[in-house]
Amino acid sequence: MTPTPLPIPDDFDWQVMLFAKQTENGTFHESRRGAAFAEQLVANGTQADLELAEKIIDVVLRCQELDPADAHYGNFYWMVEDSVVFDLNAVEFNLERLIPMMIRHGHRLTPALRERILKAIRLGLEEIERLDVLVVYTNIALLDILNTCLGGELLNEPRIAERGYQKLVKWIAFTDQFGSPYEFNSPTYTVVDIRALNLLWELVRDQGTRVRARTAAARLGLSVGLHIHQATGRWGGPHGRAYHPSVVCDLPPEVNLVNNWITEGILPRWVEDVLVHRPKFYQVEEGVYTPSQMTTTTYHSPSFVMGTASKELSGQSNVFIAHYVRENASKPGVIYTRYLTNDKWLGDFYHATDRTKSRNLVDEGRFWGVQNENRTIGLYAIPKNLGVIHSAKAVIIWTIRSEVDEIWVGDRKINSLPVEVHNGEVVVAGSGKVYTAVLPIKNSNMGRYAPVRLSEIHGDLVLEMYNYLGEAKPFWEMGWPGAFYKGVPQCGFYLEITERSNYLSGVDFAKVVASGMVQEVSQPPFVYSGEGERLWSVSYNRGEKTIGIEVDLMEWRLKRRWTECGLLGFPMFDSPVAIQSRSGKLQVGEAILTWGYEGKENGSAWLFASPATKRWVVGYDGIIPAPMCLTLPEGKIEIDSMGMGTMEWDQGDVRIETVELSGSPRVTGGNRVIIK
């Protein structure tokens, strides 16, 4: 069938030959979106498509900085209206479109334009190498790897390509130490990561790089699958970075995206089992960066999913977030937290100088948190550089106040807002299929007035826990180094979510939560000279469940977190159906994986089990090849030595994909062995 030209979106500006974005600051045209659309046009390949693509590419290339004296020679302007490079990532987002386009369909373009594009790619790769972004900046590091590997191969420059191959190894080695990528569980940027890894799998010529990319994508797919909530289809758990449309579910359910990845082969077919074959109630713990004591916990219940990070990654983090079922509503309910100064709210400011981003409610606070199943304690501290402020508060936000049909403060049923919350009162909100209880723990008064109150703000229900509300002023006593500093003010909360069907009314749940024992102890203040600690310990106990956390108020350091089972560590990955470690032995149900050499440090391995479908999957992320033995109820796989890769048992069929394999796999009970 002869292809028809691609439809042109309504916001395409035919005068500029890029897409127009209208803002209160004017009209802007983004170079990277033009590059992405040009890639689609060239792939579609009709004469009309190619003619339009050449005009768009011409404008995109004119957005490249071509002054050799410029510090960012070879980078791109984010907007055609820019005259300097504002966003250093522009080169990555433009080249990730131009390079695959040239590999797949460059022959469809005129020779003169091909030459211009190749020159632009070369200059862009030189800028990428100069920038050499740290591997902790996950999505940009992976775009660096993608562009450098593919660009080096496209230009027949082995040195450039080799830099990309080695940077992928470096990123894997870094991530392999802790579990999750540094930009953890991001519904925004994990999409970029998986796209980059898939393009490497599809297009890179270096076989080792292909397998490493595929293995890394599988590990990301495992994490994403276990964070998707079955009832709401949302990407649950705390997010390292997320934009507001993702936070409040203004975008389609993320399960649709994951299902598309599976259908298109971007993620392996077994990820479907991750989405479907798992317990009704379960908890996922995932390490992020142990040196900073960063880890995440996510709990799934039939009607809700909630997650807490031990600490924030950035102001774009959701350190606590929950999604829950609202029947007959257009989208699920969301509960999330922020620390805000000067009563900022969504729409009042941009999160960055980038004029293309949607507005976000940036979390300005510093956070430490702990979660035990459906219970969380969160502790907030003021921003490090406080400045002159007229308010400072932690907030808990329930989206769409009109969908919250039951509110209690202690034994008071609330019918109108705002309302003051007195010390020791439990706040309960009933919405959809859940009750949420919040007990404010302590909010130090930095001035004359530090209320706790329930309000409606821009259509959302908000619990405001102030540290300060008054005249704008600086706070000398909050600055360190400083002559008056006695530690950060305290602001904490205990939060619990339950299925609404568990209680007759919200007041019953409030009474149960209030019956728990709260222990809150802080050491007396003293003027800090750089020595000593001032510990603040908070715990909640009810029945057989305990949750607790202790921090140092002087340096805002985490000291310990615990549950009824004892002190909490930082596991790489732990859940009822999948685990990861460097220990040399893993067990999920009846499946047992052993690997590595005795007395030597092991690379990490992960094991996923789906007995219902008779499918088990192993991933090995170590740099050094190691022996493997997977023992299953169905049989056994033994390998003398295997490099980074995956090993899958699928109803007796064994598939092994690895960068290096020594000896022939020995399979007991299987039907056939496929080695890639």
Query: Rounded to whole angstroms, how far apart are CA atoms 109 and 123?
Result: 20
Is pLDDT above 50 for 162?
yes
- Average pLDDT for 558-573: 97
Query: Rounded to whole angstroms, how far apart are CA atoms 311 and 294?
Result: 6
Confidence of residue 145 (pLDDT cuts 50, 70, 90): very high
Confidence of residue 354 (pLDDT cuts 50, 70, 90): very low
pLDDT at 346: 77
What are residue 1's DSSP bridge partners? none
State how beta strands 653-658 and 645-650 pair. antiparallel
Q: Which tens digit of pLDDT belongs to each residue from 393-414?
A: 999 999 999 999 999 999 999 9
Answer for the pair 319, 328: CB distance below 8 angstroms, yes or no.
no
Query: Rounded to whole angstroms, how far apart are CA atoms 533 and 672?
Result: 61
**Percent share of the chain, pLDDT over 70:** 98
pLDDT at 140: 98
Is pLDDT above 60 for 131?
yes
Q: Which tens digit of pLDDT belongs to each residue from 200-241?
A: 999 999 999 999 999 999 999 999 999 999 999 999 999 999
- Average pLDDT for 562-572: 97
Query: Rounded to whole angstroms, how far apart are CA atoms 457 and 71?
Result: 45
Answer for the pair 476, 482: CB distance below 8 angstroms, yes or no.
yes
Is pLDDT above 70 for 17?
yes
Which phi-psi region, left, alpha or beta, contains residue 293 (left: φ > 0; alpha: ψ -120 to 50)? left
Residue 68 contacts by C-beta under 8 Å, 6 or more apart in sequence? none
- Average pLDDT for 92-105: 98
Query: Rounded to whole angstroms, how far apart are CA atoms 484 and 140?
Result: 41
Query: Rounded to whole angstroms, how far apart are CA atoms 481 and 182?
Result: 29
Confidence of residue 567 (pLDDT cuts 50, 70, 90): very high
Query: Rounded to whole angstroms, how far apart are CA atoms 293 and 379?
Result: 15
Amino acid in the structure at residue 615: R
Confidence of residue 672 (pLDDT cuts 50, 70, 90): confident
Query: Rounded to whole angstroms, how far apart are CA atoms 264 and 219?
Result: 17
Q: Which tens digit of pLDDT belongs to each residue from 357-374?
A: 446 899 999 999 999 999
Answer for the pair 307, 317: CB distance below 8 angstroms, yes or no.
no
pLDDT at 360: 83
* Residue 502: exposure state from Cβ atoms within 10 A (0-12, 13-18, ≥19): exposed
Is pLDDT above 70 for 608?
yes
Q: Which tens digit of pLDDT belongs to each residue from 170-197?
A: 999 999 999 999 999 999 999 999 999 9
* Residue 145: exposure state from Cβ atoms within 10 A (0-12, 13-18, ≥19): buried
pLDDT at 350: 41
Confidence of residue 600 (pLDDT cuts 50, 70, 90): confident
- Average pLDDT for 635-658: 96
User: What 8-state DSSP symbol labels residue 239?
Assistant: B
Is pLDDT above 70 for 478?
yes
Is pLDDT above 60 for 591?
yes
Is pLDDT above 70 for 329?
yes
pLDDT at 424: 94
| DSSP letters spanning 198-233 | HHHHHH---HHHHHHHHHHHHHHHHHHHHHB-TTT-
pTM: 0.94
Residue 284 contacts by C-beta under 8 Å, 6 or more apart in sequence? 226, 227, 237, 296, 297, 298, 299, 300, 573, 574, 575
CB half-sphere exposure, 498, CA atoms < 13 A:
16
Is pLDDT above 90 for 673?
no
Rounded to the nearest 10°, the torsion over CA 507, 513, 517, 522 is -100
**Residue found by looking up tokens 């808990």 in the block:** 396
Q: How far is CA 297 from CA 190, 236, 575, in A?
A: 18, 10, 10
pLDDT at 1: 64
Cis previous bond, 481, omega within 30: yes
- Average pLDDT for 257-263: 97
Q: What tokens were used for 321?
A: 């977030």
- Average pLDDT for 449-465: 96
* Residue 578: exposure state from Cβ atoms within 10 A (0-12, 13-18, ≥19): buried
Chain-wide mean pLDDT for the chain?
95
Confidence of residue 351 (pLDDT cuts 50, 70, 90): very low
Q: What tokens were used for 259?
A: 């299902």
| DSSP letters spanning 513-544 | HHTSEEEEEEPPP---SS----EEEEEEEETT
Instruction: Give long-range contacts, CB 8 A cutoff, 24+ apart: 520-529.
Output: 520/441, 520/442, 520/492, 522/442, 522/490, 522/553, 525/486, 525/487, 526/486, 527/483, 527/484, 527/485, 527/486, 528/480, 528/485, 528/486, 528/487, 528/554
What are residue 395's DSSP bridge partners? 338, 464
